[in-house]
Amino acid sequence: MAEQTVYNVQASLTDPCWFATSLGQYIINSEFRYFDQTVANIFGYNAMQLGLPHYDFLRANRMPLRFSAGYEHAAVLRTQVDHLPISSDSIDLVIIPHVLEFNANPHQILREVYRILIPEGHVVISGFNPFSLWGLHRYFASSRNEFPWNGNFIALPRLKDWLKLLNFEMRGGKLCCYTPPFTKENWRKRFKFMEDAGDRWWPISGGIYFLHAVKHKHCMHLIKPSWKNSLAGRRKIVAATQRTKQ
């Protein structure tokens, strides 16, 4: 029963109806700006978008193979997001737009992403910030059971800790969508000053956050003795000649 509930939440996330609204488009346009700028200069061969296949956040990337994966019908690879049928160390870039907060096991998703990424591979994540006006909106009774307020928003410091435990190194990030989550565009325009001053005056309270990290993989290096230096040192030792009396 629990698994069915998680599946339904995933389906509601990728339903384009909510993102087609004025508030949804406000988010999508902000995320396109960040993803376009970030993935454009990440090079390799294989790039994957996990979730939200209706929006091509890999459009600015130039890798030969770019595809989407997830539960949704629009995904090129239909799969469970926490058990990916992809070979280990085979993907150069993975982007995860709003998947972790709508899945029962976000740790397993990150472990799978770490597994399929090549060493020095990139992951870019977007999520709803619980420490924002958007996170506060979740606690209103009228919207508690509505998407996206029914998700389990993950705090940015916690997500960073999870990634560090998996041996990811942080490369960058950003917050956006500082205006309150008004459904009507004219109200968001009235509070546009909050968007313009957000990075300067309240940089941790953006409604959406992005995080860019790189996979590191420890390798075993054999430490060999420097035989040549050792032998060279021995060659310098010359036995003193002994004089014999005649």
Q: Which domain, by its residues, includes 63?
A: 2-235
CA proximity to 175, closest of 120, 133, 144: 133
User: Confidence class of residue 205 from pLDDT cuts 50, 70 and 90?
Assistant: confident
Helix then strand count (H, E) for the chain reads 9, 7
pLDDT at 225: 59
Identify whether 148 is part of a domain.
yes
Name residue, tokens 């420097």: 226
Identify whether 88 is part of a domain.
yes
Between 47 and 146, name the one with better pLDDT. Answer: 47
Identify whether 142 is part of a domain.
yes
Contact at 8 Å (CB) between 68 and 76?
yes
Identify whether 128 is part of a domain.
yes
Identify whether 178 is part of a domain.
yes
HSE on the CB side for 25, CA within 13 Å?
8
**C-alpha span between 139 and 159 (Å, rounded):** 21
**C-alpha span between 72 and 187 (Å, rounded):** 33
Between 108 and 205, name the one with better pLDDT. Answer: 108
Please determine, for residue 48, whether its predicted confidence score (pLDDT) is greater than 90: yes
Instruction: State the average pLDDT over residues 178-187.
Output: 84
Strands 46-50 and 91-97: parallel
**C-alpha span between 211 and 125 (Å, rounded):** 5
CA proximity to 102, closest of 207, 8, 21: 8
Which of 8-12, 52-56, 119-123, 149-153 shows the lowest per-residue confidence on average (mean pLDDT)? 8-12
Identify whether 245 is part of a domain.
no
pLDDT at 226: 58
> How much is the mean pLDDT over the chain?
84
pLDDT tens, position by position, 78-101: 999 999 999 999 999 999 999 999
pLDDT at 146: 80
Q: Count how many domains the chain has.
A: 1
Please determine, for residue 1, whether its predicted confidence score (pLDDT) is greater than 50: no
pLDDT at 230: 53
pLDDT at 188: 82
Instruction: State the average pLDDT over residues 228-233.
Output: 54
User: Confidence class of residue 218 from pLDDT cuts 50, 70 and 90?
Assistant: low
Please determine, for residue 223, whether its predicted confidence score (pLDDT) is greater than 50: yes
Which of 1-10, 11-20, 115-124, 162-171 shows the lowest per-residue confidence on average (mean pLDDT)? 1-10
**C-alpha span between 85 and 217 (Å, rounded):** 21
**C-alpha span between 226 and 228 (Å, rounded):** 6
Identify whether 240 is part of a domain.
no
- Any idea what the CATH number is for the domain that residue 193 is in? 3.40.50.150
pLDDT at 4: 39
Identify whether 147 is part of a domain.
yes
pLDDT tens, position by position, 185-202: 888 878 777 777 666 666
